[in-house]
Chain A
Amino acid sequence: MAKKQIMPLWFYRLASPKYCYQITATLLPYFAAITLALLSIGIVWALLFAPQDYQQGNSFRIIYIHVPSALLAQSIYLTMALSGAIGIIWKMKIADMVAYACAPIGASMAFVALITGAIWGKPTWGSWWVWDARLTSMLILLFLYFGVMALYSAMGNSASAARAAAILSLVGLVNIPIIKYSVDWWNTLHQPATFTLTEKPAMPVEMWLPLLVMVLGFYFFFATAMLLRLRNEILLREKRTSWVKQLVSEL
């Protein structure tokens, strides 16, 4: 007896590299356009029109890069670990490729978050770096990304490399709640979360609305960058199949 279909058909077909390559081709321009629109609106709004902070003056504006990149660094880790788990459990090639595509983007986001944090810390806290719980756990996140990337580069992009990296990223998943709650569990210099789902932000609307636009823009940027890397990876790993050969010969 055939299993009951829970999701629409196109969702199942995404697991096929060929179909995934085709559907991402149609999606990619939209993602890229939305990214461009949101980021340009967000940057102009944030840097020119959002009001100054009464204490920090203009230096607070780095929040519009810092918060989205820090949020994304954690979300991408979650995406990487979950798609790694899907790859282990259901042996889906696409899930392995998504995890592989995520790692360097996540590492660069963690790096951007740390760097912008340091630049912001100098005028407000008086030092580039503080060994506080949020900063340290974010640094560990960057190291975890480096570990996953080192594992990939040592093992190539085989199926066993995907399993190894998935196991490692699942183990490293313990760090995510630590980052999230580090500002609540410890008395830190770092301020509490900017956005929560349950409460209103502590900032006025004119300040957090452009931040929301930037956050959404960063998420779409990640989707765009990930799809680009994913499509490359599909072509590389499926290079022996007839549809890729045909695609290449048509170029």
Chain B
Amino acid sequence: MLLNQGIYSGNRDGFEVVHMIRAFWAELNRDLLLAFRRRGDLLNPLLFFVMVVVLFPLGVSPAADFLAQLAPGVLWVCALLAALLSLDNLFKSDYEDGTLEQLVLSSESNYMTAMAKAIAHWLTTGLLLALMAPLLALMLFLPTEAIPVLVISLLLGTPTLSLIGAIAAALTVGLKKGGVLISLLVIPLYIPVLIFGASAVQNATLGLPVAAHFAILGAMLIMSLVLAPFAIAASLRMSVSS
């Protein structure tokens, strides 16, 4: 990027921005196309989400009032785990076939590529999980008025999970035994999102205001959207160079 700046003199800044946005869309397009070509893999996190949620009525208690109390936390924890487990594949195939190396070496902005990859991950996991959540909420007897809050909180929270998770996925992509390590690195950083997401839904079931929770989830999203790509790009450079 720095090298390129010497070549495009004149209206350089405008050119750079357009160029970066184009790189972003190209990467997003490619990742979504790849995900769509392997539709079976798209289902895996969703199936995991459904199956783990089903374990709770069977393992703890099927009583409706008890499940309704448990539902906000269970739904959020299960969505978080589903998003977490899908992180392992985020950069794996690109790393193995050398695409990642080419991306890091290319003159395109690594920042934009990293952001595109994290957003593609969200579109193929978090978004689907949020859309799936109302069905599971009904099975757990979550009061109907809390369901929109559940969906909105997941829509605001899961992109943050994807962005933070992508850092850990990028750090561990070169390791043979990445799986459990990713969870160790990521779960501490996921806790704040879980706290505010689940307590928004909890408040909605009690008829309390949720605007403050949404504001904090939104703030965390904006902060991670701006800052996480730096860390993802730096981690990818580290993983590729080692």
Contacts and interface: CB of A to CB of B under 8 A. Distances in A.
Contacts of B187: 143
A127 B45 CA distance: 39
A154 B175 contact: yes
The dominant DSSP class at the A interface is helix
Interface string B56-71: 0000000000000000
Nearest to B175: A154
A155 B231 contact: no
A158 B231 contact: no
B168 to A, nearest CB: 8
Chain B CB within 10 Å, residue with most, of A136, A143, A164: A164
B172 to A, nearest CB: 7
B127 interface: no
Interface in A111-169: 136, 140, 143-144, 146-147, 150-151, 154-155, 158-160, 163-164, 167-168
Given A147-B185, A160-B241, A167-B234, 20 more contacts: A143-B187, A143-B188, A144-B189, A147-B184, A147-B188, A150-B184, A151-B172, A151-B181, A160-B174, A160-B242, A163-B234, A163-B238, A164-B171, A167-B171, A167-B235, A170-B231, A171-B189, A172-B189, A175-B188, A178-B192
12 contacts: A140-B188, A150-B181, A150-B184, A151-B181, A151-B185, A154-B177, A158-B242, A159-B242, A160-B241, A164-B171, A168-B171, A171-B164
Contacts of B241: 160
B191 interface: yes
Given A160-B238, A163-B238, A167-B171, A140 B177 contact: no
A159 B235 CA distance: 13
B167 interface: yes
A171 B160 CA distance: 13
A151 B171 contact: yes
Interface residues of A, number: 23
Chain B interface size range: 20 to 34
Contacts of A172: 188-189
A150 B145 CA distance: 43
Nearest to B164: A171
Interface in B163-218: 164, 167-168, 171-172, 174-175, 177, 181, 184-185, 187-189, 191-192
Interface of A: 88, 136, 140, 143-144, 146-147, 150-151, 154-155, 158-160, 163-164, 167-168, 170-172, 175, 178
A154 B181 contact: yes
Contacts of A151: 171-172, 181, 185
Contact of B191 (A136, A154, A158, A171): A136
A15 to B, nearest CB: 21
A187 B123 CA distance: 37
Contact of A171 (B175, B192, B231): B231
Contacts of B234: 88, 163, 167
Query: Which 5 A-B pairs rank lowest in CB-CB distance, beginning with the nearest?
Result: A160-B242, A143-B188, A147-B185, A163-B238, A164-B171
Contacts of B242: 158-160
A154 B189 contact: no
A170 B167 CA distance: 11
Contacts of B172: 151, 154
A164 B181 contact: no
A150 B185 contact: yes
